[in-house]
């Protein structure tokens, strides 16, 4: 039986007693109905995880005492940042959940010419905070001790300006300079750009190429936009011998 896992960003060292964040405390007491003395796991989202004992559990607060460090599942060797054009509706929820499960290091929502949501609406909607909560929840479920950071949304130009190593996923037949996955060289700490439902504009492809992005196609078939991140991260990690 796997012990229930709780996320506590302030967890640092064995022997210390810390308070769980409100969401986690609520899950411990109300959903799982655990009590003082029960054994749990606590992880800090930065790779640290401990066995722990519930020291105090009330409606107001839950405190746990960290015991022994736990050997966590190993993180991918390659730190991949997923830079994903914000998709419509709640599709991003699944994408964030799956990207965390597949080991990305960070998620960068981006706004592109064909993104169908305005930056102001996105900021007002609290969706980035929601995605960060989903990242925590996904890490808890899949066993990762690292919670990837979900960054604030920014225009794609902002990503190009960072001069990070870029891999830009393109649909078959849309960019003459695209290479197939088999021809993609190793790339350190890549940022992987995935476009919106309507694809990249010619201008965005040109900007990407100018920023040094490797343009890559995945097979000959058109893959639906909300499946591309899962397929792309899996394909890149296997291609780079990191799965």
Residues that bind its own copies (CB under 8 A): 73-74, 76, 97-98, 101-103, 141-144, 172, 180-182, 218-224, 227, 230-231, 234-235, 237-239, 241, 243
Closest approach of its own copies to the CB of residue 1, in Å: 13
Q: Which is nearer to its own copies, 55 or 223 (CB)?
A: 223
Q: Which is nearer to its own copies, 128 or 223 (CB)?
A: 223
Q: Which is nearer to its own copies, 10 or 222 (CB)?
A: 222
Backbone dihedral region of 107: left (phi > 0), alpha (psi from -120 to 50 degrees) or beta? beta
Closest approach of its own copies to the CB of residue 243, in Å: 5
Closest approach of its own copies to the CB of residue 36, in Å: 29
Q: Which is nearer to its own copies, 156 or 170 (CB)?
A: 170
Closest approach of its own copies to the CB of residue 214, in Å: 16
Q: Which is nearer to its own copies, 65 or 243 (CB)?
A: 243
Closest approach of its own copies to the CB of residue 138, in Å: 9
């Amino acid at each position: 039986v796997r012990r229930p896992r709780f996320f506590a960003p302030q967890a640092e060292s064995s022997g210390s007693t810390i308070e769980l964040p409100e969401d986690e405390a609520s899950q411990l007491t109300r959903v799982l109905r655990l009590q003082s003395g029960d054994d749990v796991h606590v992880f800090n989202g930065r790779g640290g995880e401990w066995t722990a004992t519930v020291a105090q559990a009330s409606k107001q607060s839950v405190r746990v005492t960290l015991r022994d460090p736990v050997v966590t599942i190993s993180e991918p060797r390659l730190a991949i940042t997923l830079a994903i054009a914000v998709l419509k509706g709640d599709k991003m929820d699944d994408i964030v959940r799956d990207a965390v499960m597949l080991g990305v290091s960070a998620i960068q929502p981006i706004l592109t010419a064909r993104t169908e949501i305005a930056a102001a609406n996105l900021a007002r909607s609290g969706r980035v905070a929601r995605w960060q909560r989903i990242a925590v929840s996904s890490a808890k479920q899949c066993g990762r001790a690292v919670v990837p950071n979900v960054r604030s949304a920014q225009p794609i130009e902002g990503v190009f300006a960072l001069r990070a190593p870029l891999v830009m996923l393109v649909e078959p037949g849309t960019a003459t300079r695209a290479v197939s996955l088999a021809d993609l060289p190793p790339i350190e700490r890549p940022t992987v750009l995935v476009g919106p439902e309507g694809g990249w504009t010619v201008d965005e492809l040109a900007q990407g190429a100018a920023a040094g992005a490797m343009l890559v196609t995945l097979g000959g078939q058109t893959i639906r936009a909300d499946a591309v991140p899962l397929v792309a991260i899996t394909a890149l990690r296997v291609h780079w011998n990191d799965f």
